[in-house]
Amino acid sequence: QVQLVESGGGLVQTGDSLRLSCVVSGRPLSNYAMGWFRQAPGKGREFVAGVRRNANTTHYADSVKGRFTISRDNAKNTVVLQMNELKPEDTAVYFCAADIAYRSYVSVFLNEYIYWGQGTQVTVSS
C-alpha cells in the first residue's frame, strides 16, 4: 500500500519561506510522477506544481511560478516544495499526490493522481 505523508507546514508572515516535504512509502518514488496541490477555505483543490519521474521536467501554476520550486530525491523517496516570497493568498492546505501513468507532460488534473497525502496547513499572515 502506498502512503504519502506531508510535513513542513506552518504559520508564517508575508515574504517568508517554507519547505514542504512529502515522503512516499510502500513503493519506490521512481514509479510516480508527483504533484503538489492546494485547497484554500471554501475553494476547490488546485494544481500548484508537478515533476515527472526523471525530475527533468517540472510545471508550475502561474500563481506560483518564480516563487515555488519542486524537486525530488528518488533515493530518499521524498518530494520537496520550496516556497519563497509567500503571500496571504498562498494560505491553504497543501497536498502531495502521485501519478502512476506514463505521460509526456506533467498533469494538472486531480483525477490523474491516484494517491494522495492527508495535507499540511500553510497559513501566511499579512
Q: Burial, 87: exposed, middle or buried (Cβ in 10 Å; 0-12, 13-18, 19+)?
A: middle
- pLDDT band for position 91 (50/70/90)? very high
What is the structure's pLDDT at 56? 82
CA–CA distance, 48 with 60 (Å, rounded to integer): 6
- Closest listed residue to residue 81, CA positions, set 100, 99, 94, 98: 94
What is the structure's pLDDT at 17? 98
Say if CB 96 and CB 22 are below 8 A apart: yes
What is the structure's pLDDT at 54? 82
Say if CB 111 and CB 90 are below 8 A apart: no
Phi, then psi, of 68 in degrees rounded to 5 = -110, 150
Say if CB 75 and CB 83 are below 8 A apart: no
Q: What is the pLDDT of residues 25-80, one digit of tens each?
A: 999 999 999 999 999 999 999 999 999 998 789 999 999 999 999 999 999 999 99
- Say what the alpha-carbon torsion angle 80, 82, 88, 89 is, to the nearest 10 degrees: -60
Cell numbers standing for residue 28: 519506490
pLDDT average, residue stretch 1-10: 96
Phi, then psi, of 36 in degrees rounded to 5 = -115, 135
What is the structure's pLDDT at 55? 78
Percent of the chain surpassing pLDDT 90:
96
